[in-house]
Amino acid sequence: MAPTTLPQTMKTLLQASRQSTEVIFTTAPVPTPTHPEDVLVRVHAAAPCAGELRWAVDFPDSVPTSKVLVPCQDLAGTVITSPANSGFAAGDRVYCRIDAGRAGAARDYALPRVSELAKVPSNLDWIKAAATPLSALTAWQAIFVQGTLDAAGIKGEAKAREQNAKVRVLVTGAAGGVGSWVVQLAALAGAKSVVAVCSGDKEEAVRQLGATEVVDYQKTTIADWVAEDAVREVDLVIDLIGGKTLAGCWAAVRTGGTLISINTPPDVVKPVGLDKPVAKSLFFIVEPLGSNLAQIGELIEAGKARPTVDSVWEFANFKAAFERLESGHAKGKIVIKVSDVA
Ligand SMILES: NC(=O)c1ccc[n+]([C@@H]2O[C@H](COP(=O)([O-])OP(=O)(O)OC[C@H]3O[C@@H](n4cnc5c(N)ncnc54)[C@H](OP(=O)(O)O)[C@@H]3O)[C@@H](O)[C@H]2O)c1
């Protein structure tokens, strides 16, 4: 049962309908835990994901019609109530990505599940914490679960580092929310090289995160860049952009390499007539796993990795936050302050 000191109603954002990308401000009752894993959290900061207002139309299987359309699946906040023996207690500083199938976190109180939560590293404030989960989880799973780098390399395990040192990685959208994590995690794991595809003004930023080569997609195409020198081919592509960018990645991946996209199934845009067998080419959707987030938190706590915040917006200014997000040129995460402590 929630403590009686909780307010009856709260402020919340809502997507106007499944078909609309309009977001409105309103009030709603404070949610009540109903699932055995539900944790009631006071939200301090929340973060949207590029494209999320189109998910109900683009990925209807991931967004059931029963979903209350609260946007922003990433949160940082304080536990109010949690199930017994969950590992979380009232007052804990937590962060997570809430599964896209359930109401998000652009509201005073949200209901993440135990399996989604991790404790916030002590060196992250609420804004940086909210900027972390989805981007870092997606990058982690793209490289270490779907991709061919071994996460043990991050901890210095010799065999993993020996294997990772043979892998050239290329990432598109390298300066954005997910991309900045792909660059960092690949570099930390000891990849042979990390090729960042981004606009030229972000070169310095991605190099600081660990990129060893930078391709300015506004000046050249990936295919033209690779055509200049065959040694530029890579073993692992992580694509975040889709479309022509992903089509160009087919030129970059070596025969027998791996092509992962979080935007589009790579085979959909494979150039007609191209005969280049690869070991794996797939699209995947991130799993909101608190266990992965805890591993990422260890890196942050140790000062080895960090989230990148593009900008911070007051709750009342949410429309501007979504406009900035949908511009497609964010340099890291866009974060919305939900409570006064953020
Ligand atoms: N499948 C999943 O589970 C999953 C999970 C998370 C995110 N996503 C999707 O992944 C995509 C990226 O998410 P995000 O949060 O990282 O987005 P983001 O923060 O908005 O970053 C997008 C980045 O892409 C760059 N960019 C735009 N056009 C480009 C191009 N043609 N080539 C290279 N870079 C380009 C932009 O930088 P410049 O200013 O340099 O152009 C920007 O930094 C979104 O579509 C999102 O919906 C999917």
CATH number at residue 96: 3.90.180.10
Residue 223 phi, psi dihedral angles, 5° rounding = -60, -45
Q: Are residues 122 and 161 in the same domain?
A: no
Percentage with pLDDT > 70 across the chain: 99
In a domain, 288, yes or no: no
pLDDT band at 2 (very low <50, low <70, confident <90, very high): very low
Residue 272 has what pLDDT?
94
Residue 172 has what pLDDT?
98
Closest ligand 1 atom to 197 CA = 33
Q: Are residues 183 and 268 in the same domain?
A: yes
In a domain, 290, yes or no: no
Look up the domain containing 316 and give its range.
9-132+307-337
- In short, whether 263's Cβ falls inside 6 Å of ligand 1 is yes
Q: Are residues 257 and 163 in the same domain?
A: yes
Q: Are residues 113 and 202 in the same domain?
A: no
Q: At what angle do helices 177-188 and 133-140 cross, to 10 degrees?
A: 50
CA separation for the pair 23, 322 (Å, rounded): 9
Looking at ligand 1, which residue's alpha carbon is closest to its atom 46?
50
Q: Are residues 151 and 274 in the same domain?
A: yes
Contact partners, residue 107, CB within 8 Å, separation at least 6: 10, 11, 12, 13, 28, 43, 70, 338
- In short, whether 227's Cβ falls inside 6 Å of ligand 1 is no
pLDDT (average), residues 52-71: 95
Percentage with pLDDT > 90 across the chain: 96
Looking at ligand 1, which residue's alpha carbon is closest to its atom 22?
176
Alpha-carbon torsion angle 250, 251, 253, 254, nearest 10? 120
147-175: pLDDT as tens digits: 999 999 999 999 999 999 999 999 999 99
27 C-alpha to ligand 1 centroid (Å): 31
Q: Are residues 66 and 151 in the same domain?
A: no
Tell me, what CATH number does 264's domain have?
3.40.50.720
Q: 267: how many CB neighbours lie within 10 A of its CB? A: 13
- In short, whether 195's Cβ falls inside 6 Å of ligand 1 is no
- In short, whether 48's Cβ falls inside 6 Å of ligand 1 is no
In a domain, 142, yes or no: yes
pLDDT (average), residues 63-80: 97
Residue 4 has what pLDDT?
55
Closest ligand 1 atom to 202 CA = 40
Q: Which of 128-142, 267-281, 327-341 has the lowest mean pLDDT?
A: 327-341
Q: Are residues 88 and 112 in the same domain?
A: yes
238 C-alpha to ligand 1 centroid (Å): 11
In a domain, 33, yes or no: yes
Looking at ligand 1, which residue's alpha carbon is closest to its atom 18?
176
CA separation for the pair 278, 262 (Å, rounded): 17
Q: Are residues 264 and 278 in the same domain?
A: yes
Higher pLDDT, 177 or 301: 301
> For all residues of the chain together, what is the average pLDDT?
96
Looking at ligand 1, which residue's alpha carbon is closest to its atom 31?
245
- In short, whether 177's Cβ falls inside 6 Å of ligand 1 is yes
Does the pLDDT value for residue 1 go beyond 80? Answer: no
Q: Are residues 13 and 44 in the same domain?
A: yes
In a domain, 122, yes or no: yes
pLDDT band at 226 (very low <50, low <70, confident <90, very high): very high
Residue 98 phi, psi dihedral angles, 5° rounding = -85, 135
Q: Are 322 and 23 in contact (CB under 8 A)?
A: yes
Q: Are residues 183 and 85 in the same domain?
A: no
Q: Are residues 153 and 277 in the same domain?
A: yes
What total number of domains does the chain contain? Answer: 2
Q: Are residues 140 and 274 in the same domain?
A: yes
